[in-house]
Amino acid sequence: MHNSTEEYLEAIYNLTRDGKAASTSEISKRLNISAASVTEMFKKLAGEDYISYSPYHGVTLTNKGSALGKKMARKHRLLERFLFDNLKIGKDKVHNEACAMEHTLSDEAERALCLSLKYPDRCPDDEKMIPPCDLDFATCQECREWNKGNFEELQKRKKEVIPLLELKASREATIAFIRGGKGMLQRLCDMGLTPGTKIRVSRIAPLKGPVEINIRGSKLALGNRVAGNIFVEAPDKIEQEERKG
Amino acid sequence: MKDTSISTDIRDTAGVIGNDNDGRLTLALVGNVNVGKSTIFNQLTGLVQETGNWGGKTVELKEGTLSHHGLQIDVVDLPGIYSFATYSVEEQATQEYILTQKPDVIINVVDATSLERNLFFTLQLREMGLPVVLGINYNDIARKKNIRVDTNLLQEILGVPVVDTIAIKGIGVHELVDAALEFLDEPVNNTSRLKYGIEVENRIDKLLELLNNGLSEMPSRWQAIQLLEGKNPALSADDKEMSAIVMTAEKLAGELVSMHGEDISTIIAAERYALAASITEKVISRKEAARKLSDIMDNIMLHPIFGYFIFFLTLAAILIVVSLFGEWVTGVIEGFFESIKPEIAGTAMDIFWNGGVIGFYAALIVAIGFILPFFLILSWLSESGYLPRIAFLMDRPCHTIGLHGMSSIPLIMGLGCNVPACMACRVMQNKRDRLIATFLTTMVPCAARTSIVLGLVGAFIGWQWAVGILFFQFLLIYVIGLILNKMMPSTSPGIIMEIPEYRWPSLKNVWRQAWFRFKEFLIIGVPLIVIGSVIIETMNVYNWLDYLTDILSPLTVSWLGLPAFTGVLLIFGILRKEANLALLFSFAGGAAITTIMTPLQMVVFTIVILIYIPCISTIAVLLKETGLKSTTLMVLAEIGLAILIGGIAYRLLGLFL
């Protein structure tokens, strides 16, 4: 059952955003499946190296599982955006529609959908962030202008990226990807935020407030949403553990 | 003047067509926001204007004349700009000025403490081949941070004159003008050392070659780079040769894109930054800096709890200081005039004293006691660098009404005077944001209106009522923001704003800035109030006032429960808000205002005055900034609101007062 693997990974991805493990009961509640079946599925997923599962501690995603879970969350939210913006389907209905469609959406169609929707960053129903794509582009403009060869020839990103907002304060990282339209990208580049530049977050105001960064020897304030669309290379695994701990 | 012809030549080599004003030289000050352009401008021209310290304080280009060794030179101060790929209305103004007005020399002011970002813009100026002289400012702050700039080397690399300045102390300012004049005599315009990466550079050369062969117009690096970026404003569609060049440019750009794996605009920006970074690396020597005071201060000022606490404390302190000072000034001035008050006998004497003299000293009380301290405090704050911190703190709260932090700056400035505050809304990039912020700004009680709250309600009823009314006004602004946000949903992504270093303001600058605005109150406001006061007293003496007040009485007396004479005040108040309090004093004829108004009437009157209509100067600015339709709507909305809320307040507050 491929579909259910995707459903599970997407649910675990969403539940582990805060860095904590997801429990059997949370998943059972979310997917409306009995706890016994969930435990059964966990064993299967662990066997396929998608998750690491230890009874009583819950589950976390492996790199392989995380990539697929993130992809499903992305397809789901892109579809919601499309259903809501273009087809004018009600906010209360888009979730279920998208759930059914996400498994048949190919990666190529996912990219085309993202381009035609102009690189959306939030889904319509709960304003959750749409994860970035896994293609090796530094900006959306570059993706838009890419027009040679087949989709299959496109490179995948070599390093995982995380939004600037998830970077631990006072840690330095390299800008890997900027999501957004031409105007926003141009402005960010003009202010010194070009891909490949080192950036340091010095302060994140609470309650989705603005972010203060240091770049090229000066201080800038970025709105929370702007900072959410700037992605940096994820720190190494050890640091990630530290971040979660 | 021999310079003119030379300067025209320079412009031609630059590929920009020369202008021609009456032979007078024009120097334009350009650069990023917060680099001290305005301070240099003040030093040069002695003409006083705003020299704020936050993103985009210099809202209009200011012109002044400098007399330098017997030479009359026009100096223009342009709004801050980060890039020629403009973003805000302000930046557009600067770009347009440079491209169409063609100043003889551009003085590019850069901040020594963040040279890399500043040079990004300098490189664009150099690409355009414009006549540039570089002024490196904030050398004093740079020294404190252990940063030293090698001016000679920078001059060599950039190929233009470079001058060290500490604008706030006037150091190096006149040397900048000398350098500009020397430049005109002997143009230095060497871009040979300003090269980008070899891949990009080769392609620029190819385009330059084509442009040379194909067109009579002088080519420039700028044009070639614009073509690479796929931007070409000067292209006519039927020009075959040109469209061939455009196709070549597209092809060359495509090669770069596949090589770098980035889109072309990003590649060009990255190239410029790479060059700016390498120049910075070469010319700056930096010792390990100690933890900066600015960072330590920000840990408190931007703290999620203490930060807001300090902000509200600051606002409260401003109100308390102004109201105590105002009370003291009122006592002193009133006491003095009471002590010289002659025996009032006869109509002429009545008009002279109760109209003219009382009008005069009442106007002085409002101006000196309330407006001047407000302006001093606000200009001190904006010089210190605190305003961008307020924008940072208020960003989140502003999001609830679909605006972002930047809009809190005009709102704070509005506490002084709505006129420059409405103009300050131009820093916002989005049209919808600008419109909403401008509307809300006109609702902010300016110093003149606050003088009524403090001088009338605060002085005669109690400070709790004054604070209550101000609080209500801010709540009203917020609610209107919520309503407007529902009507026009937000599309703006958020702030991208520079946070400058804190600076201890020079008192001279603070005084000059406050005086610049205050002067207008003295020169225009005071005489107008005296004249108004004399007219009203005359009408009063001959019992003509009744005709005027009768017309308005259904509104003032029946609906708002105010004394009939307030109708006259409301009309005069459209001209100048401070007239309201001053004229009230003269209506009372030297007696306490409590003899002509009940506490309830004072409160209702004050509420109406706060909301009812922007003053005539603000309306003029609104017309210019937002157009006739929006202005009419705003004015009508405010009049309607004032009448509605005033009437409700009269009926509701009657239970307490």
pLDDT band at B19 (very low <50, low <70, confident <90, very high): very low
Provide the token pair at B344: 């009032």
Do B231 and B120 share a structural domain? no
* Same-domain pairing of B480 and B624: yes
Which of residues B286, B321, B352 is at a domain's end?
B286
Two tokens at B511? 């005084």
| A89 and A9 inside one domain | yes
A98 and A167 inside one domain:
no
Sign of the Cα torsion B252, B258, B259, B261 reads positive
The mean-pLDDT minimum among A88-92, B359-363, B464-468 falls in: B359-363
Instruction: For the beta carbon of residue B361, count every other beta carbon within 10 angstroms.
Output: 21
pLDDT of residue A112: 92
CA distance B161 to B312: 46
Looking at beta carbons, which residues of chain A come within 8 Å of B119?
none
Q: With cut-offs at 50, 70 and 90, classify the pLDDT of residue B54.
A: very low
Helix axes B526-541, B579-588, angle to 10 degrees: 40
Checking if the pLDDT of B53 tops 50, the result is: no
CA A81 to CA B257: how far, in whole Å? 30
Classify residue B191: in a domain, yes or no.
no
Phi and psi at residue B217, in whole multiples of 5°?
-60, 145
Residues facing residue A219 across a β-bridge = A214
B590: left (phi over 0), alpha (psi -120 to 50) or beta: left
Nearest CA in chain A to B294: A219
All residues of chain A having their beta carbon less than 8 Å from the beta carbon of residue B302 are 203, 205, 212
Q: How near does any CA of chain A get to the CA of B474, in Å?
A: 22
Residues 93-122 of A with CB under 8 A from B: none
Residue identified by tokens 């306490």 is B592
* pLDDT, average across residues B20-42: 81
- Asked if A125 and A193 sit in the same domain, the reply is no
Same domain assignment for residues B211 and B154:
no
Query: Distance from CA of residue B509 to its chain's centroid?
Result: 15
Closest to B512 measured CA to CA, from B33, B37, B51, B34: B51
Map residue B217 onto helix, strand or coil. coil
Mean pLDDT in residue range B163-176: 90
Distance from CA of B321 to the nearest CA of A (A): 31
Specify if A147 maps to a domain: no
User: Distance (Å, rounded) from C-alpha A48 to C-alpha A58?
Assistant: 17
Q: What pLDDT score was predicted for residue B290?
A: 55
pLDDT value at A159 more than 60: yes
In a domain, A208, yes or no: yes
| pLDDT number for residue B1 | 32
Residues B374 and B486 in one domain: yes
The conformational region for residue B643 under phi > 0 = left, psi -120 to 50 = alpha, else beta, is: alpha
Look at strands A211-215 and A218-222 and give their pairing: antiparallel
Whether residue A152 lies inside any domain: the answer is no
Could you tell me where the beta strands, DSSP code E, fall in B603-656? none
CATH number, domain with residue B213: 1.10.287.1770
CA distance B113 to B101: 31
In a domain, A203, yes or no: yes
| HSE (side-chain half, CA atoms, 13 Å) at B151 | 13
Cα separation, A211 vs B634, in Å, equals 34
Of B185, B206, B226, the residue at which a domain comes to its end is B185
The answer to whether A211 touches A203, Cβ cutoff 8 Å, is yes
B171 & B232 share domain: no
Residue A208 has pLDDT above 80, yes or no: yes
Q: Is the pLDDT of residue B77 over 60?
A: yes
Residue B233 is predicted with a pLDDT of 54
At B217 the pLDDT is: 53
Residues in A 199-238 with any Cβ partner in B closer than 8 A: 202-203, 205-210, 212, 216-226, 229
Which of A189, A202, A209 comes nearest B396 by C-beta?
A: A209
Per-residue model confidence (pLDDT) at position A76 = 93
Per-residue pLDDT of B560-606, as tens digits, reads 999 888 888 888 788 777 778 888 887 777 677 888 889 999 999 99
> Rounded to whole angstroms, what are the CA distances from B101 to A206, B189, B196, B379?
46, 20, 29, 31
Q: How far is B253 from chain A (nearest CA, A)?
A: 11
> Does the pLDDT at position A125 exceed 80?
no
How far is it, in rounded angstroms, from Cα B363 to Cα B530? 8
With a cut of 80, say whether residue B180 has pLDDT above it.
yes
pLDDT of residue B237: 52
pLDDT band at B17 (very low <50, low <70, confident <90, very high): very low
**Would you say residue B559 has pLDDT above 70?**
yes
Q: Which two tokens stand for residue B126?
A: 């150099």
Q: Which residue has the tokens 């002011």?
A: B109
Q: B265 and A203: CB-CB below 8 Å? A: no
Q: What is the mean pLDDT of residues A124-147?
A: 87
Minimum distance, in Å, between the CA of residue B393 and any CA atom of chain A: 8
Domains contained in chain A, number:
2
User: What are the E-state strand segments in B93-171?
Assistant: 105-111, 132-137, 147-149, 162-164
Average pLDDT over residues B282-305: 81
Determine, yes or no, domain membership for B174: yes
Instruction: Using pLDDT thresholds of 50, 70 and 90, give the confidence band for residue B638.
Output: very high
Shortest Cα distance from A48 to chain B (angstroms)? Answer: 35
User: Given this model, what pLDDT does residue B154 score?
Assistant: 93
Residue at B306: amino acid letter:
F
User: Count of residues for chain B?
Assistant: 657
* Residue A144 included in any domain: no
Does the pLDDT value for residue A167 go beyond 70?
Answer: yes
Which residues of B touch chain A, with CB atoms under 8 Å apart? 82-83, 85, 87, 113-117, 120, 257-258, 261-266, 269-270, 273, 277, 280, 295, 298, 302, 304, 388, 391-393, 395-396, 399, 404-405, 493-500
A180-184, B65-69, B308-312: segment of lowest average pLDDT: B65-69
More confident residue, B134 or B409: B134
CA distances from B571 to B107, B112, B511, B579, B608 (A): 47, 52, 33, 10, 12
Whether residue B509 is predicted with pLDDT greater than 70 in this model: the reply is: yes
Q: CA angle at residue B113 from B112 to B117, to 5 degrees?
A: 85
- DSSP-assigned beta bridge partners for residue A9: none
Phi, psi (rounded to 5 degrees) for B497: -130, 145
Q: DSSP state, A155? A: P
Scanning every residue of chain A, which has its alpha carbon at the shortest distance from the alpha carbon of B299? Answer: A203
Mean pLDDT of chain B: 83
Provide the token pair at B267: 């590649």
**Same-domain check for residues A90 and A5:** yes
Judge whether A184 is closer than 8 Å to chain B, CB to CB.
yes
- Same domain? For B533 and B627 the reply is yes
Q: Are residues A121 and A233 in the same domain?
A: no
Per-residue confidence band for B248, with pLDDT thresholds at 50, 70 and 90 = confident
Task: Give pLDDT, residue B288.
Answer: 56
| Domain coverage including residue A5 | 1-131
Q: How far is CA A219 from CA A211, A212, B272, B593, in A?
A: 10, 7, 19, 52
- pLDDT for B13: 30
Q: What residue type is assigned to position B136 of the chain?
A: I
Chain B residue closest to A144 (CA)? Answer: B263
Shortest CA distance to B404 belongs to which of B440, B435, B422, B428? Answer: B428
Going by pLDDT thresholds of 50, 70 and 90, the confidence category of residue B269 is very high
Same domain, B50 and B160: yes
* A146 within a domain of the structure (yes/no): no
- AA letter at A215: I
CB A161 within 8 A of CB A233: yes
Same domain, B103 and B18: yes
Q: What is the pLDDT of residue A128?
A: 85
Looking only at the bridges linking them, the beta strands covering B25-30 and B105-111 are parallel
Cα–Cα distance measured from residue B96 to residue B101, given in angstroms and rounded to the nearest whole number:
8
**CB–CB of B496 and A223 under 8 A?**
yes
Question: Helix (H, G, I), strand (E, B), or coil: what is residue A97?
Answer: helix
How far apart CA B394 and CA B374 sit, in angstroms, is 21
At B88 the three-state DSSP class reads coil
**Span A68-124, pLDDT tens digits:** 889 999 999 999 999 999 999 988 899 888 988 988 999 999 999 999 999 999 888
In this prediction, residue A1 carries a pLDDT of 42
pLDDT band, residue A16 (cuts 50/70/90): confident
Q: Are residues A124 and A170 in the same domain?
A: no
B218 CB neighbour count, 10 Å cutoff:
16
Segment A33-56, tens digit of pLDDT: 888 888 888 888 888 888 888 777
B498: which chain A residues are within 8 Å (Cβ-Cβ)? 191, 218-221
B210: Cβ contacts below 8 Å, ≥ 6 apart? B244, B245, B248
Answer whether residue B277 is part of any domain.
Answer: yes
| Amino acid at residue number A8 | Y
**Does the pLDDT value for residue B8 go beyond 70?**
no
Over residues B623-635, the mean pLDDT reads 89
Task: Write the CATH number for A41.
Answer: 1.10.10.10
Q: Is residue B295, in this structure, part of any structural domain at all? A: no
Q: Are residues A3 and A58 in the same domain?
A: yes
For CA atoms B573, B578, B581, B584, give the dihedral sign: negative
Chain A to chain B Cβ contacts (< 8 Å)? 145
Report yes or no: B267 and B197 within 8 Å, Cβ to Cβ.
Answer: no
Which of A176-180, A240-244, B138-142 shows the lowest per-residue confidence on average (mean pLDDT)? A240-244
Q: For residue A241, is pLDDT > 60?
A: no
Share of chain B above pLDDT 90, in %: 27
Residues B486 and B620 occupy one common structural domain: yes
Cβ B387 vs Cβ B53: under 8 Å:
yes
Place of tokens 């704050």: B381
Beta partners for A161? A233
* CATH code of residue B40: 3.40.50.300
Residue A58, H or E segment: strand A58-61
Residues of B in contact with A208 (CB under 8 A): 396, 399
* B155 and B222 together in one domain: no
Q: Are A30 and A107 within one domain? A: yes
Collect all residues of chain A within an 8 Å Cβ-Cβ radius of residue B395: 205, 209-210, 221, 223-224
- Does one domain contain both B573 and B521? yes
- Amino acid sitting at position B102: K
Does the pLDDT of residue B122 top 90, yes or no?
yes
Which residue did the predictor score with more confidence, B89 or B639? B639
- How are strands ordered across the β-sheet holding A211-215? A161-163, A230-233, A172-178, A198-204, A211-215, A218-222, B496-498
> Exposed, middle or buried: residue A96 (CB in 10 Å: 0-12, 13-18, 19+)?
exposed
Q: Determine whether the interchain pair A138/B266 forms a contact, defined as Cβ–Cβ distance below 8 Å.
A: yes
Reported confidence tier of residue B238, pLDDT bands at 50, 70, 90: low
Gyration radius (Cα) of chain B, Å: 29
Under 8 Å between Cβ of B455 and B363: no
For the segment B53-76, the average pLDDT, to the nearest whole number, is 69
**Complex-level ipTM:** 0.86
Q: Is B290 helix (H, G, I), strand (E, B) or coil?
A: coil
**What is the predicted pLDDT for the residue at B57?**
40
In a domain, A31, yes or no: yes
A201's tokens: 């977050």
Domain that holds residue B542: 306-491+511-653
Same domain for B484 and B382, yes or no, is: yes
Where is average pLDDT lowest: A7-21, A57-71, B370-384, B513-527? Answer: B513-527
- Give the whole-number percent of chain A exceeding pLDDT 70: 94
* Sheet strands side by side (includes B71-77): B62-68, B71-77, B25-30, B105-111, B132-137, B162-164
pLDDT, averaged across chain A? 86
Question: What Cα–Cα distance (Å) separates residue B84 from each residue in A167, B33, B163, B648?
Answer: 31, 14, 24, 52
Residues A196 and A238 grouped into a single domain: yes
Between A21 and B472, name the one with better pLDDT. B472
